[in-house]
Structure 1
Amino acid sequence: MNQTLTIRITDELKKDLNKVSVSEEKPVSDIVRESIKAYVALRRFRMIRKKILPFAEAEGILTDEDVFRKLK
């Protein structure tokens, strides 16, 4: 079920959002929806990463390169 969310934004942000909407030929609501999804996904990723980081460090996985080596 879809929900409506009401937020307050500055006039400047509204203008910027409208410019993006016009340049991408997308409704403002689509841009805001995509932005919220990206934000939530990033926060979720960071929470998971924070939980598994001690285990990765214990295995010597400290960098992206270490991760890619393990995946090969």
Structure 2
Amino acid sequence: MKNRSLTIRLEDDLEQELEAVCAETGRSRGEIVRDALRRQLQLMRFERLRRQALPFGEAAGWLTDDDVFAAIS
């Protein structure tokens, strides 16, 4: 897999927080930013799939998480 470079601009407070986390964990800025990007992209995929599935759940009468848990328990 070929790696690519990405340049981003950070506000001062965000950069300071990132540097503090790097120092605390011993991880590089790149590792932390890549991990954060992966998590955000997964969350966005999940939310998109949830929006697509929501009408089917509502049609089945599942309006809350409790409704789903009751149906599968």
Q: Does TM-score exceed 0.5, indicating one fold?
A: yes
Once the two structures are aligned, what percentage of the paired residues are identical? 39
Question: How big is each residue's C-alpha offset from its partner over 1:14-55, in whole Å with a ceiling of 9 and x where there is no partner?
Answer: 111000111122111111011101111111111111111011
Aligned-partner residue type, residue 8 of structure 1: R
Q: How does 1:1-72 map to 2 (within 5 A)?
A: 1-72=2-73
Aligned-partner residue type, residue 34 of structure 1: D
Q: How many residues align?
A: 72
Q: What is the TM-score when the length of structure 2 is the normalising length? A: 0.87
Provide the aligned C-alpha RMSD in A: 1.2
Instruction: State the distance in 1 between where 2:5 and 2:63 align.
Output: 42
Q: What is the TM-score when the length of structure 1 is the normalising length? A: 0.88
Instruction: State the distance in 2 between where 1:24 and 1:65 align.
Output: 37
